[in-house]
């Protein structure tokens, strides 16, 4: 049975997260800022899609908000993409750090094109993930990856009543051209080298946090968002 929620549950969820029907001035400004900086990396040939997600995409901006980016890469280019984008955004002083948060770009979620279906990372009755997927704002969309993503997750989420939101999301797409030079044994080796260098540090941080279930580190997905409130939010919504 596909994941679905009643009108009452949806209304409770939106009220709880302060989700508005239309973006505020600040939501729109954050989207414009993200679009501006995504333009600087759209040439990377292993990108498939970049979305803005979380509070800004849900029209629920608050003063402490950063700009969460969700990035999809081609197969076997996850670590290489993360490395390049981190270097570029760090150099430009726009990447979120522990000391710099507001207005900065948060690079907390990377997947490759083999992991577009999020069913395996969902918790039971995962209303938060359901709406995160629904409200993703695609800025860069190569090879119809956004459409593939929605199709993949429609296998376990019922989006039939939400088509107007999905339609509105497509209006945010600015970049559709893909350079496409991707296959190379040299790049394959570079991917392995970067992973070998970066993985120990990433795993160390994960272990230090107590290996929480919401942090995911593997060859297909790097998910670092370390303040997962899905269970708390689900319980508040579904008990009413």
Return the exposure string of 28-59: e unless at least 16 CB atoms fall within 10 Å of the residue's CB, then b: eebbebbbebbeebbebbbbbbbbbbbbbbbb
Looking at residue 182, what is its pLDDT?
A: 61
Residue 2: inside a domain: no
Residue range 73-112, pLDDT digits in tens: 998 899 999 999 999 999 999 998 777 777 789 998 999 9
Residue 143: inside a domain: yes
Residue 1: inside a domain: no
Confidence of residue 52 (pLDDT cuts 50, 70, 90): very high
Looking at residue 183, what is its pLDDT?
A: 65
State mean pLDDT over 21-48.
92
Which residues, in sequence order, are bridge partners of residue 69? 52
CATH of the domain at 184: 3.30.460.10
- Model pTM? 0.90
Q: Which domain holds residue 33?
A: 7-238
**Residue 218 confidence (pLDDT) above 70:** yes
Residue 222: inside a domain: yes
Rounded Cα–Cα distance for residues 219 and 170 (Å):
28
Can you give the length of the chain in residues?
240
Residue range 13-23, pLDDT digits in tens: 999 999 988 88
Tally of domains in the chain? 1
Looking at residue 21, what is its pLDDT?
A: 87
């Amino acid at each position: 049975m596909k994941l679905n929620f009643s009108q009452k549950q949806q209304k409770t969820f939106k009220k709880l997260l302060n989700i508005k029907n239309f973006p505020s001035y600040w939501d729109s400004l954050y989207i414009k800022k993200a679009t501006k900086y995504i333009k600087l990396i759209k040439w990377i040939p292993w990108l498939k899609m970049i979305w803005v997600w979380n509070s800004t995409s849900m029209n629920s901006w608050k003063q402490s908000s950063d700009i969460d980016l969700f990035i999809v890469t081609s197969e076997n280019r996850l670590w290489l993409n993360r490395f390049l984008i981190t270097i570029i955004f760090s150099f430009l002083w726009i990447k979120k750090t522990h000391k710099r948060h507001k207005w900065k770009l948060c690079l907390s979620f990377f997947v490759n094109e083999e992991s577009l279906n999020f069913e395996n990372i969902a918790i039971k009755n995962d209303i938060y993930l359901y709406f995160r997927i629904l409200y993703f704002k695609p800025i860069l969309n190569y090879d119809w990856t956004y459409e593939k993503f929605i199709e993949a997750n429609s296998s376990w989420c019922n989006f039939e009543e939400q088509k107007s939101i999905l339609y509105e999301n497509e209006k945010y797409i600015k970049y559709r051209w893909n350079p496409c030079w991707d296959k190379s044994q040299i790049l394959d080796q570079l991917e392995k080298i970067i992973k070998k260098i970066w993985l120990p540090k990433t795993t160390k941080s994960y272990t230090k946090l107590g290996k929480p279930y919401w942090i995911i580190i593997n060859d297909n997905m790097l998910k670092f968002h370390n303040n997962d409130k899905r269970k708390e939010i689900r319980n508040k919504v579904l008990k009413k």
